[in-house]
Homo-oligomer: A and B are copies of this chain.
Amino acid sequence: MVKPAEGLRERRRRETRRSIHSAALRLALAHGFDKVTVEMISEEAGVSPRTFFNYFGSKEAAVARGPAGPDPRALEAFAAAGPAEPREVLAELAALITADLSKNPPLRAELHAVMEISRTTPGVAAAFLAQLDDFQRTLAGAVARRLGDGGGGGEGGTDGGPGEPDETAALIAALAMAAVRTGLERWKSAAPRSDDSPVPYVEHSAALLRALLTP
């Protein structure tokens, strides 16, 4: 029964994170980013400042809202799924990120607003890049575990120093992210319809990656 409870908690976390981000964005658009405080964002989102800081380290990070996930359970299952060829691990990782994104896709209007604010507020752009880096590092850690311990054990894994497996893991995480971002870029530059979703674009990139890797 533990797993379903975790799933619900994870969903609630996503929703809270999303509403803090939306509140931060609304306030930044209404008053200008410099005028907005963490207190204002917390009040608008209906959470305490303490809760705010469980989700974001700063108002810059709240406006940026880089990737939150991945779902810890999905990542754990991926890391513990046992041996596979690196190419297969790469394709699986791209599929995992895609599934994660599809649970909480960005909205076109919000993305454009974030880009607009980033243009004039370097801290927001920097926060977004830092969030992407964190996310990629988390993925690389899971890949390293997957490549390190072939077996299925959950707590196993290697914590070896910087060597070939870690480099391969970092490379695989970077490649999977590049594939997902290719899909997102395509969506961003597609004819704008405010209601469309990036999910089919990202799924298509992941499918192309899989085809590219298949002998």
Cβ contact within 8 Å between A167 and B186: yes
Specify the chain B residue showing the minimal Cβ separation from A133. Answer: B185
Indicate with 1 or 0, residue by residue over A197-215, a CB within 8 angstroms of chain B CB atoms. 0000000110011011101
Indicate with 1 or 0, residue by residue over A163-206, a CB within 8 angstroms of chain B CB atoms. 01001101110110111011001100000000000000000110
Cβ contact within 8 Å between A175 and B167: no
| Complex contacts, A215 vs chain B, CB 8 Å | 87, 215
| Complex contacts, A205 vs chain B, CB 8 Å | 167, 171
Residue of A175, A181, A204 ringed by the most chain B CB atoms within 10 A = A175
A122 at the interface (CB under 8 A from B): yes
A sample of 29 cross-chain residue pairs with beta-carbon separation below 8 angstroms, ordered by A number, consists of A86-B211, A86-B212, A87-B212, A90-B212, A119-B122, A119-B126, A122-B122, A122-B125, A125-B125, A125-B126, A167-B186, A167-B205, A167-B208, A168-B208, A170-B182, A170-B185, A171-B178, A171-B179, A171-B182, A171-B209, A171-B212, A172-B212, A174-B179, A174-B182, A175-B175, A175-B178, A178-B178, A213-B213, A215-B215
Helix, strand, loop or mixed for chain A's interface?
Answer: helix
A54 at the interface (CB under 8 A from B): no
CA distance A182 to B167 in the complex (A): 8
Cβ contact within 8 Å between A186 and B174: no
Residue of A178, A179, A186 ringed by the most chain B CB atoms within 10 A = A178
| Complex contacts, A122 vs chain B, CB 8 Å | 119-122, 125
| Tally of this chain's copies | 2
Q: State the Cβ distance, A6 to closest chain B Cβ, in Å.
A: 31
Specify the chain B residue showing the minimal Cβ separation from A85. Answer: B215
Cβ contact within 8 Å between B167 and A204: yes
Q: State the Cβ distance, A133 to closest chain B Cβ, in Å.
A: 9
CA distance A171 to B125 in the complex (A): 24
CA distance A126 to B116 in the complex (A): 12
Cβ contact within 8 Å between A186 and B209: no
CA distance A183 to B35 in the complex (A): 40
Cβ contact within 8 Å between B182 and A87: no
Indicate with 1 or 0, residue by residue over A103-142, a CB within 8 angstroms of chain B CB atoms. 0000000000000000111100110000000000000000
